[in-house]
Amino acid sequence: MKLKIECLSAGYDKDFVIKDLSLSVNQGEFLSLLGPSGCGKTTLMKAVAGILPAQGGRILLDGEDITSLPIHKRGTVIVFQDMRLFPHMTVEENVAFPLKMQGVSRSGRLEQARDLLEKVQMGGFLDRRPSELSGGQQQRAALARALAARPRLLLLDEPFSALDENLREDMRNLVLQLQREFHMTVVLVTHDREEALSMSDRIALMFSGRLVQTGTPKEVYLRPESRLAADYFGDCVYINGTVSGGRFTGGGLDCPVPFLSQEFISQAIPFPADAPVPGPSVPDGPCRLMLRPGSLEPDRTGGYFLTVEQVSFRGGSVLVSLRSDDGDLWKKAFSGPVDLAPGDRIQASVRTQDGVLFPA
Ligand SMILES: Nc1ncnc2c1ncn2[C@@H]1O[C@H](COP(=O)(O)OP(=O)(O)OP(=O)(O)O)[C@@H](O)[C@H]1O
């Protein structure tokens, strides 16, 4: 089921939270709506689900305009963080309930409910009431109930945030497995960057009610179009320098001009933004080169020198803060034990071709 949101505006009272927002999600795609708290993710999901009226624009599901349809006729199901199972019903009855609404016979709906509860590993809890379940069990039951409605589009609003890390990982895997099995189109609302990066086919990054970038996890992480997008993932290094004759120099690096961010193109290049040709067409002048920690590799012949400032043990990894001789601070996670201490010197190489150029 393809979701198309066209110039959608929605909010509370007369205040718009989102304005003229457009986004497409393809059939069978897993899209994460990622952004800081309060940026409007839930508002957008509520508008898609029909809980909040659209104040402008259109919402289409496979070409059908559902903007004015009531909630129960949209074919969308939304699962919130504080999922509300019906307290007076057993787990099995909760999951069978959407099927009852669809007119499925009693024996048919109980059979399907049991099947779904098996899938979410809740087969042993059919007769329990929600108050007799743990938070994670309630979430799995809520997911089974959402799936029982056979949604054309599944909207998940921070469904894992109340769970501990192990259970979260299990639920993420379960959702991905069920999404593939049911060929569902899924939109996941999250502010957890790793969750979005690891689960999604695409990420739509949202700030202050607008989308700042939409792309695959690799595109959004490695090729941010704006500093806002780059900084959201937190671990970038900006190296001040200059461009001259198609080369970047600064911070002890000298390399051909790499990928140009949209921000650089729109601010620094006086020709249409759809012609980002690196090389001589890039104007000379001050700029900043953004690099991710993955571009820094310890290398005895690398010629890029750093001093260890801090070593912090993180269990499966060790986070090391490193200061380059030109004063740039890198924070790099190493897996496994690392024999480094503050004050140690290391030599590295930098894959500058991974960099993204931003205005100064
Ligand atoms: N019922 C409401 N009435 C008025 N304003 C609201 C209401 N619900 C949310 N808002 C406001 O709308 C804005 C967007 O909220 P929303 O819940 O969509 O953000 P969010 O990105 O989902 O945040 P979070 O990640 O914290 O859940 C916020 O400024 C919030 O205070």
Q: Can you tell me the distance from the alpha carbon of 221 to that of 216, in angstroms, rounded to the nearest whole number?
A: 8
Residue bearing the bigger pLDDT, 31 or 81 = 31
**Beta-carbon count within 10 A of 196 CB:** 25
Residue bearing the bigger pLDDT, 81 or 103 = 103
The CATH homologous superfamily of the domain defined by 3-222:
P-loop containing nucleotide triphosphate hydrolases (3.40.50.300)
Query: CA dihedral defined by 119, 125, 126, 130, rounded to 10 degrees?
Result: -110
Pair 38, 62: CB distance under 8 Å: no
pLDDT exceeds cutoff 80 at 274? no
Task: For residues 272-301, give the mean pLDDT.
Answer: 79
Instruction: Identify which of 42, 45, 192 to mutate to test ligand 1's pocket (most ligand atoms within 8 A of the CB).
Output: 42
Residue 119's pLDDT band (boundaries 50, 70, 90)? confident
With a CB cutoff of 8 Å and minimum separation 6, the contacts of 83 are 138, 139, 142, 159
- What pLDDT, on the 0 to 100 scale, is given for residue 272? 53
pLDDT tens-digit readout, 326-356: 999 999 999 877 889 999 999 999 999 999 9
In this structure, the residue with its CA closest to atom 27 of ligand 1 is 37
User: How many angstroms separate the Cα of 27 from the Cα of each of 39, 47, 272, 349?
Assistant: 26, 19, 33, 42
pLDDT exceeds cutoff 70 at 280? no
Task: For residues 77-95, give the mean pLDDT.
Answer: 86
Task: For residues 39-48, give the mean pLDDT.
Answer: 94
Instruction: Identify which of 41, 45, 160, 208 to mutate to test ligand 1's pocket (most ligand atoms within 8 A of the CB).
Output: 41
**Distance in Å, CA 45 to ligand 1 centroid:** 11
Residue bearing the bigger pLDDT, 89 or 315 = 89
Task: For residues 261-290, give the mean pLDDT.
Answer: 73
Query: Phi, psi (5° rounding) for residue 36?
Result: -70, 165
pLDDT exceeds cutoff 70 at 131? yes
pLDDT above 90 covers a percentage of the chain that reads 65
- What pLDDT, on the 0 to 100 scale, is given for residue 134? 87
pLDDT exceeds cutoff 70 at 269? no
> For ligand 1, what atom is nearest to the CA of residue 11?
12
Q: Is the CB of 130 under 6 A from ligand 1?
A: no
Pair 224, 216: CB distance under 8 Å: no
With a CB cutoff of 8 Å and minimum separation 6, the contacts of 246 are 256, 257, 278, 279, 280, 282
Pair 349, 299: CB distance under 8 Å: yes
- What pLDDT, on the 0 to 100 scale, is given for residue 181? 86
For the chain, the structural domain boundaries read 3-222, 227-359
Pair 34, 203: CB distance under 8 Å: yes
Residue bearing the bigger pLDDT, 75 or 132 = 132
CA-based max dimension of the chain: 75
Q: Is the CB of 38 under 6 A from ligand 1?
A: yes
- What pLDDT, on the 0 to 100 scale, is given for residue 333? 92
**Distance in Å, CA 51 to ligand 1 centroid:** 14
- What pLDDT, on the 0 to 100 scale, is given for residue 352? 95
What is this structure's pTM?
0.88
pLDDT exceeds cutoff 80 at 123? yes
Residue 275's pLDDT band (boundaries 50, 70, 90)? low
Instruction: Identify which of 8, 9, 12, 207 to mutate to test ligand 1's pocket (most ligand atoms within 8 A of the CB).
Output: 12
pLDDT exceeds cutoff 80 at 162? no
**Distance in Å, CA 21 to ligand 1 centroid:** 16
Residue 294's pLDDT band (boundaries 50, 70, 90)? very high
In this structure, the residue with its CA closest to atom 9 of ligand 1 is 43
Task: For residues 139-162, give the mean pLDDT.
Answer: 85
**Distance in Å, CA 127 to ligand 1 centroid:** 36
Straight-line distance from the first to the last Cα atom of the chain, in angstroms, rounded to the nearest whole number: 43
Query: Phi, psi (5° rounding) for residue 109?
Result: -75, -35
Burial track 155-190 (b if 16+ CB lie within 10 A, e otherwise): bbbbbbeebeeebbeebbebbeebbeeeebbbbbbb
pLDDT exceeds cutoff 50 at 21? yes
HEC-encoded secondary structure of the chain? CCEEEEEEEEEECCEEEEEEEEEEECCCCEEEEECCCCCCHHHHHHHHHCCCCCCEEEEEECCEECCCCCHHHCCEEEEECCCCCCCCCCHHHHHHHHHHHCCCCHHHHHHHHHHHHHHCCCHHHCCCCHHHCCHHHHHHHHHHHHHHCCCCEEEEECCCCCCCHHHHHHHHHHHHHHHHHHCCEEEEEECCHHHHHHHCCEEEEEECCEEEEEECHHHHHHCCCCHHHHHHCCCCEEEEEEEECCEEEECCEEEECCEECHHHHHHHCCCCCCCCCCCCCCCCEEEEEEECHHHEEECCCCCEEEEEEEEEECCCEEEEEEEECCCCEEEEEEECCCCCCCCCEEEEEECHHHCEEEEC
Whole-number mean pLDDT of the chain?
90
Q: ipTM of this model?
A: 0.97
- What pLDDT, on the 0 to 100 scale, is given for residue 279? 44
The radius of gyration computed from the CA coordinates of the chain, to the nearest angstrom, equals 24
Q: Is the CB of 335 under 6 A from ligand 1?
A: no
Task: For residues 16-38, give the mean pLDDT.
Answer: 95
